[in-house]
């Protein structure tokens, strides 16, 4: 359903109520009798889990399954599928920067990309009382999966131009992918860029934020919002992440929410800060409510 996301955001900002937007599509499979593997390999199974969660819980929005192996697989990476865990990338596609030039930018028919686009179309058609957010990986995190994180951190120092060339290819692909998501009818996308939390402020700006900013400027409009997620980053460490133009920002539990709110533009939604392991997984319902 088409929703004016700027108006939706203003309503959220003016409300005194705290909104819940958990990314837990994986738990939806428990409601439908399917496995995570089913959701990662079947668009109908994934959409059914999103719909089941929306019918049971009053979430502010419905996020799709966050599978950060999809884009790397499209580039040729091997993945491991499990019944009860999201797929993971195994092995690198690239071994040094000399191989970047020959790396082909995949089409939207590669790997499981069509499956995720179809799941988005199905979910957007059936969840009509709130926004639906697709999910994708960020440029630097994608490059890290193609190269290996240890290796890419080394190559950034040894051959920064080679890594920038790789990031250019990753960004071109993601631009096309996000435009395809927008065409499915979903109301936005959550871009997960967790690897940027490993970078210094200067590195984050050069190797992540500048490319994220480009993605956002390409696809974000009043009907398609971009939320930028980073697990380990704190706003004060990498300030460039606060100025990408994203409609909303989602950070992990290491961030100081009050400090970050003071640094943010007043029209940006801030999300996160609750420990997923210590609170959501190990805590009691009372602890979750308190946090």
Q: Concatenated DSSP letters for 169-212?
A: HHHHHHHHHHHHHHHHT--EEEEE-GGGGGS-HHHHIIIIIHHH
Q: What is the torsional sign of CA 56, 57, 61, 63? A: negative
The string of pLDDT tens digits covering residues 135-159 is 999 999 999 999 999 999 999 999 9
Dist. CA 139–CA 176, nearest whole Å: 13
Structure tokens given for 127: 């969840």
Residues 6+ apart with CB under 8 A from 281: none
- Residues in the chain, how many? 291
Mean confidence (pLDDT) of the chain = 93
What pLDDT does residue 234 have? 46
3-class SS at 132? strand
Tell me if 35 sits within 8 A of 10, measured CB to CB: no
The residue to which tokens 């499979």 are assigned: 29
The string of pLDDT tens digits covering residues 66-103 is 999 999 999 999 999 999 999 999 989 999 999 999 99
Q: What is the torsional sign of CA 161, 165, 166, 172? A: positive
Name the residue among 120, 142, 279 with its Cα closest to residue 212: 142
Alpha-carbon distances, residue 169 vs 100, 135, 231, 274 (angstroms): 9, 19, 24, 34
Dist. CA 3–CA 219, nearest whole Å: 15
Could you tell me what percent of the chain has a pLDDT over 90? 77
**Helix (H) or strand (E) segment spanning residue 72:** helix 70-74
The string of pLDDT tens digits covering residues 231-289 is 754 444 577 788 899 999 988 877 888 888 888 888 999 998 888 888 988 999 999 88
Angle at 16 between CA 11 and CA 18, to 5 degrees: 90
Instruction: Identify the DSSP state of 107.
Output: P
Structure tokens given for 266: 């007043």
> Residue 62's beta-bridge partner residues?
132
């Amino acid at each position: 359903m088409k929703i004016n996301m700027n108006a939706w955001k203003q309503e959220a900002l003016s409300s005194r109520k705290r909104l819940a937007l958990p990314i837990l599509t994986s738990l939806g499979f428990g409601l439908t009798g399917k496995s995570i593997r089913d959701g990662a390999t079947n668009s109908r199974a994934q959409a059914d889990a999103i719909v089941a969660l929306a019918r049971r819980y009053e979430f502010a929005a419905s996020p799709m399954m966050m599978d950060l192996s999809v884009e790397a697989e499209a580039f040729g990476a091997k993945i491991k599928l499990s019944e009860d865990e999201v797929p993971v990338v195994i092995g690198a596609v690239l071994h040094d920067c000399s191989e970047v030039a020959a790396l082909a930018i995949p089409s939207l028919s590669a790997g499981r990309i069509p499956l995720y686009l179809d799941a988005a179309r199905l979910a957007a058609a059936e969840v009509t009382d709130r926004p639906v957010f697709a999910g994708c990986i960020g440029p630097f995190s994608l490059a890290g999966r193609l190269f290996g994180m240890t290796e890419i951190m080394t190559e950034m120092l040894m051959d920064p131009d080679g890594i920038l060339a790789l990031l250019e290819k990753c960004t071109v692909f993601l631009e096309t992918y996000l435009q395809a998501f927008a065409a499915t009818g979903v109301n936005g996308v959550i871009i997960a860029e967790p690897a940027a939390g490993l970078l210094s402020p200067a590195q984050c700006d050069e190797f992540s934020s500048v490319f994220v900013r480009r993605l956002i400027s390409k696809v974000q409009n009043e009907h398609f919002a971009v939320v930028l997620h980073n697990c380990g980053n704190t706003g004060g460490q990498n300030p460039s992440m606060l100025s990408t133009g994203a409609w909303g920002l989602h950070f992990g539990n290491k961030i100081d929410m009050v400090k970050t709110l003071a640094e943010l533009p007043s029209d940006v939604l801030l999300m996160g800060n609750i420990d997923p392991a210590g609170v959501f997984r190990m805590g009691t319902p009372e602890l979750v409510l308190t946090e």
